[in-house]
Structure 1
Amino acid sequence: MRHRHLATITLAVGLVVLTDVLRVFLPSVITIFGQAASTPAELLGGFALGWFVLALAAPALVGRVGARPVGVAAAVVLCAARLALTAAPGGRTQLWLATTGLLAGLVWLAAIAARIAQPVPGLTLGLTAGALGHGLVGTHDLVWWGSWEAWALSVVLVALLLVGETALVRRPDTGDAVGQWPVGQRPVGQRPTGDQAVPGGRGWLLTGPALLLGGMVALSPAVASTAMSFWFGDAGTAVPPLFALAPLGVAVALFVLGALTPPRQRWRPLSPVLLLAGAVLFGYGPPVVLGVAMLLTAAGLGGCLALTAGSGEAATATRRGYAALGGMLVFAVGAVLHYAAYDIGYPNGWLPVLVAALVGVVALGGLRRHRPAVPAAVADPVPAWPAAGLAALLAFVAALLHGPWLVATNRDGPPEQVRLVAYNIRMGFGLDGRLDLAGLERAVGRADVVVLSEVDRGWLLNGGHDTLHLLAARLEMPYVFAPAAGALWGDAVLSRWPVQRAQTRPLPAVGAPTGAQALGVTVDFSEGVRLAVVSTHLQPPPGTDPVVQARAVAEFAIAYADGVPLVVAGDFNTEPGNPAFAAFTGAGLVDAFAAVRPLVTSPADEPDEQIDHIFVSPDLATSDPVAVRSIASDHLPVAVTLTLPTAAGQ
């Protein structure tokens, strides 16, 4: 890989590999170390943050041993862990492999920071490549595939990093600091080595914040597809939209152009303003503006990176290492604080705004620093427009690959019976901590209507997957989504028949940290036969019964159905005999599992709680009630067959 952009390409590929490991590490902390929310959030956060703090010793190690040997050794461990995760059976093995890969990746980052003076081109291409790769696989990471294709692509990825690292070491003119200058400036007449001051410290400091904001909103394929669905209605969309990932193409183009184009003097403050505006919309705006938030954040983030590249600020190799790892610590703290809010219960919209403000301060602060005392000449910048065009093209290819699918709906009149499944899918992660789409598909079976709880559509903490889109594609069932906690987490209804009149109602929080809602849709079987379906996930404060929310759902459901046969299903976090359970039976609804009680559903491996339920109106006959055995989530799915009234009866 003897190329003038060798260092840039190596940094980009390494960042992609590290991001892949992070997408396993973060959900593993929650699902494996966290043991299905039984571990206190404070302990989870301490475990996650501890490894980033430990990595702060890496710059001293690099200074003592040397950047080259430390970088090669760390890259080898990182690549080995990445490949091992593809074969890992899940559980604690997966957790410790991901932890090892994360720590090795952070050490590698410190080592390459000591050798690359200006990181902005590599960071830009790495963040873009990671986003595009995630989009091209439909946000279903290679580590979860379990196929030879995943192995082949993973081997190619790690081989690129190892070849790049080897080529960097063997390159005789590298020294210990390779300058990569996207804004057309490069020292000439000398190649600084060791701890000699060269530009780049502020760019390295933005590594973690850029990874956080990019993964949360700016460069997330899952956020792009979710944003598209909200453009079709407040409750998501009943049909996956054409070019579901299209916003990603615009976002990556804006990001690359912003990062690799020299900013004009008069427009330099614009990038921090755009970034801050996007973060505010993401943190506080309604779901319908999610796409706008994504585009603003992408454009502003790229522009802020460009400002650090042109600052001319001096930093030693050691300082660059600390800057890179300090930025990654910001990533870890930001991620923990943002998502811990859903367990502990405090506002978290301010977090992305604060990180955006920090990025803006770092970007603008560099403008006041002195330029290096060495002459400058035009270097070999990464061409902005071709890079942006290629990125946009690949994003639109991903949109074509993962666009809408054709679903065979009822063509011969309404069915006599409908199989309905209610399932808390825990963001798609099974008890072994792996994203188990195949297991979820088997558990759902050939259901006609599926009610889902704990649906994740892009939380960075869970790897940034659009779990709903992935599962709906496997089931070949269109969906309607309703957010409950932010725009990316909530409940959904999938149906093999057309749906109408999607409505949502936020439920009173009553002290619960995580939001809750009720989603109503009407399934149209044609010939006047309809079924009202209400999906919900009650969220009581710890140790209390969600009776207030239950009454709100029952009231909403009966008013929404307005005489149409009704089903209310989901994770109710209440058991038969409790006040919340009685709120539904007291409203005239029937327990579909009354004949087979007790029907335990949680936890999935050794269930001892009856908290997942299906209630129906008295005019619906039910049969074959069951809790399906599966460990694809921490809950068991519950299913029942409904016999529909005739159109005249409705």
Structure 2
Amino acid sequence: MRYRHLHTVTLGLGIVVLIDVLRVFLPSVITIFGQAATTPAELLGAFALGWFVLALAFPALLRRLGTRPVTLVAAVALAGLRLALTASPGGRAQLWLATAGLVAGLLWLAGTAAGTDRPVPGLASGLALGAVVHAGLGTYDMVWRGGWAGWAGSVVLVGLFLAGTARPAPPVEPGGGARAWLLAGPALLLTGMVALSPALAETGSSYRRGPGDGLASSAAAGDVSALFGWAVAVFLFAALARPPRGYARLLGPLALVLGAVLFAAGEPGWLGPAVLLTAAGVGACLSLAGAAAPIAAPATATAVPDPAGASDASASVEPSAPAGVAAPAVSASAGAPGRPARSSLTAVLGMLLFAVAAVGYYAAYDLGYPNAAVPVAVAGLVAVVALAPALRGGKAAPARAASWAWTGPVAAVSGLVALLATNLPAAEVAPLRPGSPPAEVRVVAYNVRMGFGLDGRFDPDGLARVVAAERPDVVLLSEVDRGWLLNGGHDTLTLLSARLRMPYVFAPAADPLWGDAVLSRFPVESARSERLAALGAPTGAQALGVTLDLGGDARLAVVATHLQPPPGREPVAQARAVAQFALGYADGRPLVVAGDLNTEPGAPAYAEFTRAGLVDAFAAARPLFTSPADDPREQIDHVLVSPGMVAGGPVAPRSTASDHLPVAVTLALPPTATG
């Protein structure tokens, strides 16, 4: 049993390492191979999926070269490439290191599946551990950090993984291996996207604290850790406990589908229930799949060896044990003919399902088709696979999942650890409350590209340094990602808010996890958002209006937006809608409208703002190019103000922390800036 527990721990650690690699590979496909959306979506999708399709050949490779040596080599390669990603400077080197790491990880997974017929404890512990570490690091993972702390954590992780891999695998026992391995990829998707996502827990909590109207504001860390801790505990309890019998086995799959539906609905208030229901449902389905092996008839003879002498296909069946005596384990080279190959193939197929669903879900934001059905379809597939024996009317073997005697304490302790480890940062500084209004306000607008620089590395520290150098009072952010799995599952807004020590108001655009934000040193008096018509544009857009209390009776209206032009056209209709909304929202108060407007001075969409009476704060500094950041040729990031405000010090400081340059300006408030 000592070796079996070690094998479970090693599998869990390997899952954590593989998740680390995926957190680099997936955004690298978008930011490096995708070249800021200039690469055709079809080519980008083919590149991302091709490596998972290639892995379908790995079971045959394992049979030809031997499972054990290939798995060891793949584990060493996976560990080495994981460390290399921390050292990578980004760019093409990062893309190809992450791709090689993915291939090595899939090969390791296929080999591990061939020798592991009861994977659920290892899979569940790996998914939970990866999520807890991700939360403990504030969603800013070790693979991106570098420095002594990042390197120390990375070396310890891969060292423990390799130490466990070097030990021989335990004997293979008959079990629900193939079916459980098929769920590995879908479970990774659903836990990373919903059930065990600390960024989603943070976002859901921030909506509960928001000013209403579907907006979010800085959440307390205690709320986040409580929700996330419960999710981890519920997931582990459901995955490790003995699965229920009869109609009770339907509860887990039903909870999973309901949780996926709540998430797909896109209602911010439903994110918390979606997290808990999906966590319980994924865990329960893994438990059902892991215990769903058909009962084999007792045998008293030894089967005839495979004529080809292939160890994976031979089966030496022991006589049935007397009642009350545990049957001996089947040797690692035994079992039903083809079982190791089936487990290996289903593990790879499960990861292919992960890739197809992930790419299909997020590609919708570029291609414009509805994607809400994707997580629901994956949840339905998981439910069907978990319930397959019952649906066929077959008799399942007695479950050998963990007993309730220790599963409950383990899940409770894990949830407590998750609660204590959750380290999502918060902007702890209180907003300024000046006794008299300031004479001027420094404003920065920045398209942060989900936190990824031109080198393709996730670097919230770099973004924060660029913004902080301008000493802003108000910051307007575009392309804010709060937990998209395809981008690594980071809560970019919370990370930036904490580093700048500025609370935020967030408005969703594409979905509850992606949109625009306003960070301010002044108190927020009120806020409102208006959804903009897409008109053929691939990604949703909105206008976020925030009223800031500058002290006394002075108020400043700020509107943050990111216009999304239809293919080949100007975002004229959206610009007109934003101008109308902004003027109505300001209601005569001083007004600032800023963001990535995707239009240049003199263009038809830009003219909608000037026609409405707004003034270009950068008129005296034109041309002021802002995109692309490494060779700026376009003026598409703007700050527009109401008449009477005087602009000074307009700049677009050079930086490669995003694919856009930030724009900053100091605005002198008119003497009549009172409400």
- Could you say which residue in structure 1 is the equivalent of 2:54? 54
Alignment of 1:511 with 2:491, yes or no, is: no
Alignment of 1:366 with 2:363, yes or no, is: no
Cα displacement (A) at 1:412: 4.9
Query: SS at 1:278's partner residue?
Result: helix
Cα displacement (A) at 1:504: 0.5
- Could you say which residue in structure 2 is the equivalent of 1:5? 5
Question: Aligned pair in 2 of structure 1 residues 455, 285: CA closer, same or farther (>3 Å)?
Answer: closer
Letter in 2 for 1:638: V
- Could you say which residue in structure 2 is the equivalent of 1:549? 574
- Could you say which residue in structure 2 is the equivalent of 1:487? 512
- Could you say which residue in structure 1 is the equivalent of 2:253? 272
CA distance in 2, matches of 1:3, 1:474: 45
- Could you say which residue in structure 1 is the equivalent of 2:180? 203
Matched ranges for 1:67-86 at <5 A: 67-86=67-86
- Could you say which residue in structure 2 is the equivalent of 1:240? 219
- Could you say which residue in structure 1 is the equivalent of 2:492? 467
Cα displacement (A) at 1:46: 0.2
CA distance in 2, matches of 1:379, 1:510: 54
Letter in 2 for 1:201: A
Cα displacement (A) at 1:378: 8.4
Contact 1:307 1:366 in 2 (8 A): no
Alignment of 1:320 with 2:343, yes or no, is: yes
- Could you say which residue in structure 2 is the equivalent of 1:580? 605
- Could you say which residue in structure 2 is the equivalent of 1:455? 480
Alignment of 1:355 with 2:334, yes or no, is: no
Alignment of 1:301 with 2:282, yes or no, is: yes
Contact 1:6 1:168 in 2 (8 A): no
Uncovered stretches (5+) of structure 1, i.e. residues with no partner = 180-186, 188-197
Cα displacement (A) at 1:529: 1.4
Cα displacement (A) at 1:380: 8.4
Contact 2:509 2:542 in 1 (8 A): yes
Relative to the length of structure 1, the TM-score reads 0.93
Contact 1:242 1:404 in 2 (8 A): no
Relative to the length of structure 2, the TM-score reads 0.90
Q: 598-607 or 259-268, which moves further after superposition?
A: 259-268
CA distance in 1, matches of 2:673, 2:374: 55
Alignment of 1:250 with 2:230, yes or no, is: yes
Q: CA RMSD in A?
A: 1.9
Question: Aligned pair in 2 of structure 1 residues 514, 165: CA closer, same or farther (>3 Å)?
Answer: same
Q: Deviations over 1:7-26 (max 9, x none)?
A: 11111000000000000000
Q: 256-265 or 480-489, which moves further after superposition?
A: 256-265
Uncovered stretches (5+) of structure 2, i.e. residues with no partner = 295-335
Letter in 2 for 1:50: G
Alignment of 1:538 with 2:517, yes or no, is: no
Q: Deviations over 1:251-289 (max 9, x none)?
A: 111111111112221311111111111111111241121
Letter in 2 for 1:38: T
CA distance in 2, matches of 1:343, 1:378: 43
Alignment of 1:500 with 2:479, yes or no, is: no
Cα displacement (A) at 1:406: 2.9
Larger Rg: 2
Q: Deviations over 1:135-178 (max 9, x none)?
A: 00000011211211000000000011101101135xxxx34x3x
> Aligned residue pairs: how many?
626
- Could you say which residue in structure 1 is the equivalent of 2:263? 282
Contact 1:601 1:609 in 2 (8 A): yes
Letter in 2 for 1:219: L
CA distance in 2, matches of 1:379, 1:616: 64
Question: Aligned pair in 2 of structure 1 residues 411, 51: CA closer, same or farther (>3 Å)?
Answer: same
Query: SS at 2:89's partner residue?
Result: coil
Matched ranges for 1:373-412 at <5 A: 383-399=406-422, 402-403=425-426, 405-407=428-430, 409-412=432-435
In the alignment, which of 617, 633, 640 is matched to residue 608 of structure 1?
Answer: 633
- Could you say which residue in structure 2 is the equivalent of 1:135? 135
Identity in percent: 62
Q: Deviations over 1:477-523 (max 9, x none)?
A: 10011010011000000001111211000001111111000001111
Q: 38-47 or 436-445, which moves further after superposition?
A: 436-445
Cα displacement (A) at 1:85: 0.5
Letter in 1 for 2:201: A
Query: SS at 1:123's partner residue?
Result: helix
- Could you say which residue in structure 2 is the equivalent of 1:261? 241
CA distance in 1, matches of 2:360, 2:628: 27
Query: SS at 2:437's partner residue?
Result: coil
CA distance in 1, matches of 2:73, 2:353: 25
Q: 300-309 or 391-400, which moves further after superposition?
A: 391-400
CA distance in 2, matches of 1:534, 1:8: 52
Contact 2:589 2:674 in 1 (8 A): no
Cα displacement (A) at 1:393: 1.2
